[in-house]
Amino acid sequence: MKPRRSVLACPGSSVKMIAKAKTLPVDEVFLDLEDAVAPAAKVQARANIVAALNDSGWGTQLRVVRVNDWSTEWTYADVIAVVEGAGAALDAILLPKVTDAGQVRALDLLLTQLEKTCGLELGRIGIEPQIENAVGLRNIDEIATASPRVQTLVFGPADFMASINMRTLVVGEQPEGYDFGDAYHHILMTILLAARANGLQAIDGPYLQVRDPEGFRRAACRTAALGFDGKWVLHPSQVDLANEIFSPRQAEYDRAEEILDAYAYHTSVAGGARGAVMLGEEMIDEASAKMAQVVADKGRAAGMTRTTRFTPPRNESE
Ligand code: GLV
Ligand code: MG
């Protein structure tokens, strides 16, 4: 799967912001029809999005549209407008406020019909369910497996905090009075585990204080450390930070590649067919190789190149 370290949120109502989004080095852009677009502007935003998707000038970003959730009157017409208008230029639909598998299946069925009628490749357009309330979190496993189109699970912190009555107005920060630990840990881990159990990417949502890069760094580092694959960005100033934080550090990437090479060599017959060996000061084995594979995969997907080489030891008798 292509990386989604930085996922840029861009209102579909703003032609200017869409034009800017095309030029930013993000892994994904999602053009929004939902909460960043006022009800009176939604119909025009559909047209803006179709025109923008069909336009040239995009880089390698994944192109995604967030439609309105199924409790509104807009969802089906959003999907029909963007897929009929620009289905070939669309990588996925971001479906907000998902509560259960039925909502994902309904979108899957609609997409399949549209792909058929528009002559598009069947099943290519992905689905990114957004987990934004207690019901969605409770049903996360059925949501994750509701359709082969599901590619990611996306956290929506603002709606989620509102849905569970968390006592704060600052999205991405700890609620005042909760002075020990991370108030989001359970939610984040539940999303991460469901993603990993089903081979999906786990994406963290927005940090709304766009003029506070240190706050963004703090919030992004927390979810990157857990194992999340990326985070939403709302402003150009957050883009480089997200790409950096959700890629391995160079030394970490080099070490991972070195562990993989060393493990492959030492477990081979030529290398002595040993399962656990010393690499520098550290004992490595099958589990170390698995951890290294995760870091190496992220580094390779991010286009990193290694700066060190593994050299097999000369004397194999020790
Ligand atoms: C994003 O949609 C959020 O609710 O945080
Ligand atoms: Mg939301």
* Residues in the ligand 1 pocket, defined by CB under 6 Å: 35, 132, 156-159, 205-206
Rounded CA separation 200/40 (Å):
35
Summarised one tens digit per residue, pLDDT across range 205-234 is 999 999 999 999 999 999 999 999 999 999
CA of 249 to the centre of ligand 1 (A): 29
Candidate from 31, 32, 98, 130 with most ligand 1 atoms within 8 A of CB, to mutate: 130
DSSP string, 102-128: HHHHHHHHHHHHHHHHHTPPTT-SEEE
Mean pLDDT for the stretch of residues 145-159: 97
Q: What is the pLDDT of residue 315?
A: 62
How much is the mean pLDDT over the chain? 94
Rounded CA separation 244/201 (Å):
17
Length of the chain: 318
- pLDDT band for position 316 (cuts 50, 70, 90): low
CA angle 193, 195, 198 (to 5 degrees): 105
Q: What is the pLDDT of residue 173?
A: 83
Residue 93: is its pLDDT beyond 90?
yes
Tokens of 3: 């990386």
Candidate from 32, 171, 231, 234 with most ligand 1 atoms within 8 A of CB, to mutate: 171
Residue 136: is its pLDDT beyond 60?
yes
**In ligand 1, which atom is closest to the CA atom of 96?**
2
Residue nearest to atom 3 of ligand 1 (CA): 156
Residue numbers belonging to the annotated binding site for substrate = 66, 132
CA of 132 to the centre of ligand 2 (A): 6
- Nearest C-alpha neighbor of 8 from the set 235, 178, 182: 235
Mean pLDDT for the stretch of residues 47-74: 96
CA of 9 to the centre of ligand 2 (A): 11
Three-state DSSP class for 30? Answer: strand
Tokens of 242: 């997200």
Rounded CA separation 132/198 (Å):
19
- Nearest C-alpha neighbor of 128 from the set 275, 309, 294, 7: 7
- Nearest C-alpha neighbor of 126 from the set 99, 104, 101: 104
CA of 238 to the centre of ligand 1 (A): 17
Residue 1: is its pLDDT beyond 90?
no
Q: What is the pLDDT of residue 179?
A: 85
Mean pLDDT for the stretch of residues 280-291: 91
Residue 247: is its pLDDT beyond 80?
yes
Q: What is the pLDDT of residue 174?
A: 87
Q: What is the pLDDT of residue 280?
A: 86
**In ligand 1, which atom is closest to the CA atom of 34?**
2
Rounded CA separation 315/35 (Å):
64
Mean pLDDT for the stretch of residues 154-177: 91
Domain ranges of the chain: 6-245, 250-301
Rounded CA separation 196/189 (Å):
10
- pLDDT band for position 318 (cuts 50, 70, 90): very low
Please tell me the CATH code under which domain 6-245 is placed: 3.20.20.60
Mean pLDDT for the stretch of residues 235-260: 94
- Nearest C-alpha neighbor of 14 from the set 318, 289, 234, 304: 234
Residue nearest to atom 1 of ligand 1 (CA): 156
CA 203 centroid distance within chain: 3
Q: What is the pLDDT of residue 38?
A: 96
Rounded CA separation 100/143 (Å):
6
Provide CB contacts within 8 A for 181, sequence distance 6+. Answer: none
Mean pLDDT for the stretch of residues 186-195: 98
CA of 35 to the centre of ligand 1 (A): 8
Q: What is the pLDDT of residue 313?
A: 81
